[in-house]
Amino acid sequence: MPWFNSSIAAIIPYFPKWMVKPFAKPYVAGIADDEALQIVQQLNKKGYAVTLDILGEYVNSQEEAENIRNAYSGLIQKIAAGGLNSTISVKLTHLGLALDPQLGENNILTLARDGRDNDVGITIDMENSPFTSLTFDIYKKALAIHHRMGTVIQAYLYRSLEDIKALDSPFLNLRICKGIYKEPPEIAIQDRRTINDNFVEMARSLLNGSGYACLATHDLTLIDRLEALIEAEHIPSDRFEFQVLYGVPMGNRLEELKAKGYTVRVYVPFGEAWFEYSVRRLKENPQIISYVMGNWFKK
């Protein structure tokens, strides 16, 4: 069956969208705000925190960037009005950073003010290496407006340990992830085990500093190592959380983490760009294909 799943995953980008939608459903919380907010309510009832992401990256015009900013602004207000345990996650290129750095900065600073006024946290997602330093610079400006701003750091970049030390502050909220962009060996670790080792050392540095650590991984072995670090160094549970993508199979591990009193936050994407995102997730987890098809035949 694995070969069948992988074969389907390889050709699924060429399927019409209506055929892909059933496979996408486990990974994407619909297209509209209201669909996504229903998922947030369901996850909150199960004891999970959430961060919401409007899918998409680069934009082609100032108008498009401002539309995305306005969509996020509306989402912030709905989260606050509903009393939901959710933050938002934003890519700066989605707000126009690649089109015009000042445009991207202005848009995220506007959202920082909206987040402050509605007491909703905002994480600035990290993108590929040309944007790393600029993202950290903009994050610092946004943090001066809203203390519930966070950003992301990638364990495969050699620079990341030093970045953690430079960013350290009592208001630092930093999501550590492995990194998904293809980066050259001059700047990025290529070996998976070494990336995991660096992830643990970055977590150690962050937890021994002043900030708050968001440990974003589905790697169960890595989670074991992070738990061992937390226990060995007696890190209080209000200094960190675990983060996972919506729909990625984790067995009972998330329930086990919650049972220990740890916060688990689910990254929930939604929006018009669901197709491209779903294709990536299906390639990473082809087993979802047989799961969905099995459910079809049970009906």
**41 in the same domain as 179:** yes
Which pLDDT score is estimated for 87?
Answer: 98
Which pLDDT score is estimated for 5?
Answer: 42
**167 in the same domain as 122:** yes
Question: What span, in angstroms and rounded, lies between the C-alpha atoms of 78 and 50?
Answer: 14
Assign 3-class secondary structure to 83-119: CCCEEEEEEHHHHCCCCCHHHHHHHHHHHHHHHHHHC
174: DSSP letter: E
Question: What span, in angstroms and rounded, lies between the C-alpha atoms of 203 and 213?
Answer: 7
**33 in the same domain as 9:** no
**Average pLDDT, integer, range 128-156:** 97
Which pLDDT score is estimated for 23?
Answer: 57
**pTM of the full predicted structure?**
0.87
Contact 108, 142 (CB under 8 A): yes
**190 in the same domain as 214:** yes
**209 in the same domain as 67:** yes
**213 in the same domain as 235:** yes
**Average pLDDT, integer, range 138-154:** 98
Torsion, CA 35, CA 37, CA 39, CA 43, rounded to 10? 180
**127 in the same domain as 259:** yes
**145 in the same domain as 71:** yes
**156 in the same domain as 54:** yes
Instruction: Report residue 1's pLDDT band, with 50, 70 and 90 as the boundaries.
Output: very low
Question: What span, in angstroms and rounded, lies between the C-alpha atoms of 213 and 239?
Answer: 6
**14 in the same domain as 139:** no
Percentage of the residues of the chain whose pLDDT score is greater than 90:
76
Instruction: Report residue 243's pLDDT band, with 50, 70 and 90 as the boundaries.
Output: very high
> Token pair for residue 138?
């903009």
Residue 233: which domain range? 29-270
**291 in the same domain as 143:** no
Which pLDDT score is estimated for 182?
Answer: 87
Q: Hey, how many other C-beta atoms are within 10 angstroms of the C-beta on 176?
A: 26
What's the CATH number where 113 sits? 3.20.20.220
Candidate from 118-122, 177-181, 237-241 with smallest mean pLDDT: 177-181
**Number of compact structural domains in the chain:** 2
**Average pLDDT, integer, range 42-52:** 98
Which pLDDT score is estimated for 264?
Answer: 98
Percentage of the residues of the chain whose pLDDT score is greater than 70:
82
Residue positions annotated with a catalytic role: 125, 175
Residue 284 has pLDDT above 70, yes or no: no
Candidate from 215-219, 239-243, 276-280 with smallest mean pLDDT: 276-280
Q: What is residue 51's three-state secondary structure?
A: strand
**115 in the same domain as 9:** no
Which pLDDT score is estimated for 297?
Answer: 33
